[in-house]
Chain A
Amino acid sequence: MRTETLPKDIALPKRDAEDQGASLWSDAWHRLARNRLAIAGLWILGGLSFLCFLGPLSRSLPVAIRPVGLSYSYAEQNLDSRVMPPSAWHWLGTDQLGRDLLSRILFGGRVSLMVGLCATAVSLTIGVIYGAVAGYLGGKLDTVMMRIVDILYSLPLALFVILLMVFVGRSLLLIFVAIGAVEWLTMARIVRGQVLSLRKQEFIEAAIALGLRKRRILLRHIIPNVLGPVIVYATLTVPGVMLLEAFLSFLGLGVQPPMSSWGSLIKEGADWMEDAPWILTSAGAVFSLALFSLNFLGDGLRDALDVRAAKD
């Protein structure tokens, strides 16, 4: 807390309770907390992650206290109970191989959420740094850097990912990296555009006049100013990445059975729509819920991070 570092003889800021935050981030948090939709989104995402990551662990609980619906493995096949509608034993029903759908959705959630977060983090890091450097330094370097982006853009996405997978081999981690490596292009363009207009702002000129080095200006004055659009775009990237993962799984390049992801479950559900509509409905419902939550959270974050729009 910055306020604590003030000398003792200086009175601490007297601001109302909800403004006690000492940094941009805690201020933003207070504003976010007032946005009900965003908070609801945050809770839902938190709940989903909790269920996905901890739910399957309940299998190791003693039989007496573990919920019957959570006692299956995502890969366990039971050909006697194929394509069963939701029941007391299989809360969300089973699929064509008799695997418990709830377990598969929870396991698939792990993969989908991880892909979404990791790939977005990868694309965020590469994109923001690349775009900010190109935009701020400008000149020939900018031209070269952005032409590279253009070239990568023009490669068909699937081809690019397939090439990556062929060269590096196939693993879950690679999916994260491969998707992130494709998604950063748009991020870099957005950031570069923002930086180009920021660079001409007077406060950047003032920062140069104060004797700041380029690195400090970039990190302290430019990047915080592009965070708003970046975060909004990032929250849109997460669902995009999840869909891309579903697409890759469909092509046989992503998650392989018996592993599941929300995308692959939806695809499976679509194949069995007539005989087992519950697969598509439940997988689709969970996926949509996650996407909605992400969007509301993104909206809330954008408003919260824009200090100028704050009305306090």
Chain B
Amino acid sequence: MPLLQVENLRTFFHTRNGVVRAVNGVSFAIQKGETLGIVGESGSGKSVTGYSMLGLIPQPPGRIESGRALFDGVDLLSCSKKELQKIRGKRISMIFQDPMTSLNPYLRIVDQLIEPLLIHDRTDRNVALEMAVQMLKHVGIQDADTRIQCYPHEFSGGMRQRVMIAMALITRPDLLIADEPTTALDVTVQAQILELIKKMQDELGMAVILISHDLGVVSGFCDRVLVMYAGQIMESAGTDDLFYRPLHPYNQALQKSRPALQTKGAELYTIRGLPPDLSKTIAGCPFAPRCEHANDECGRSETGLREIEPLHHTACVRVQKGNLKLG
């Protein structure tokens, strides 16, 4: 049984300008200890997917229209608040995008670090303090026993993200959701933070969902990757398959757009057009209007993930029917 199984998750935002279908029928599963990447451009629904599972969607305007998220037999989307509170921060932790704003400026690092221990495990304060110092050392903060008494503003961005990681992992969760953990950091620090998450994952044996728009980050980090577009999953595959044998035109276009893979001086490849307006219903494949391989059928037929090769799913109707060969 997978650690977390999400089925047909649909999260809509009811705004004045209509219903925005931020996540529209997403299903996936993650095994114990596995690393799952979710990639997609801004607004593709990857963060909302993560937020939905932890009940962090502001309601209203947001609403989870349907779906289940079974975590160890508990449906995170329909369980009581009390049950959810016991799970989040204890068994599922989250790291946020911007370490500059995700720490309370008025509380010392130490108070924020031990908070999960105090509320979830009712750990004795002294024990919690010792654990916090150990954890802070573990995530690579120099002079952890001194620095733990500082306020967040006395830390750099990279150090704050380390603190966030320490805070998320101090209760030894089974699942860590990292929502673009490196986006706000500079490149050298990015690599360090990713290495750190990997190291902690090996030590604690937890599963990680890495949400990112950076294909490079995902390729080096994840076992399996979901590609999201307009609130739906376009393709899901093992990392190597996804990068070297794309089975969806969107994924193929993404791979082609990576500057690192193109010859110097050549004009960079871009996907023409814009992502669709999610407040309007989309008939057929959401990528069809921008797709090089689209035909009439794409704008009409119902899309859904289907396994084409072992463990390799695509939502492209033409690939599913076998009348489009990519690559």
Contact = CB atoms under 8 A, between A and B. Distances in A.
Chain A partners chain B: yes
B248 to A, nearest CB: 32
A3 interface: yes
Contacts of B85: 211-213
Q: How large is the interface on B (under 10, 10 to 19, 20 to 34, 35 or more residues)?
A: 35 or more
A224 B126 CA distance: 24
Interface in B109-130: 110, 115-116, 119-120, 125-126, 129-130
Given A212-B89, A212-B115, A224-B106, A203 B129 contact: no
B93 interface: yes
Contacts of A201: 101
Interface stretch (B6-14, B144-152, B188-196, B233-241): B144-152
B174 to A, nearest CB: 14
B229 interface: no
A210 B115 contact: yes
Given A209-B88, A212-B89, A213-B85, A13 B119 contact: no
Contacts of A310: 153
Contact of A202 (B93, B101, B149): B101
Interface string A1-27: 011011100110111000000101000
A225 B101 CA distance: 13
B89 A211 contact: yes
B98 interface: yes
B89 A202 contact: no
A221 to B, nearest CB: 5
A307 B153 contact: yes
A204 to B, nearest CB: 8
Nearest to B151: A307
Interface-central residue, A206, A213, A307, A308, by most chain B CB under 10 Å: A206
B86 A13 contact: no
Interface of B: 54-56, 85-90, 93-94, 96-98, 101-108, 110, 115-116, 119-120, 125-126, 129-130, 133, 145-146, 149, 151, 153, 164, 167
19 contacts: A6-B129, A11-B145, A11-B146, A24-B106, A203-B105, A205-B56, A208-B55, A209-B56, A209-B88, A209-B94, A209-B96, A210-B167, A211-B89, A212-B85, A213-B85, A221-B106, A224-B104, A225-B106, A308-B153
Closest 8 interchain pairs by CB? A211-B89, A210-B89, A202-B101, A202-B102, A224-B106, A209-B94, A13-B149, A206-B102
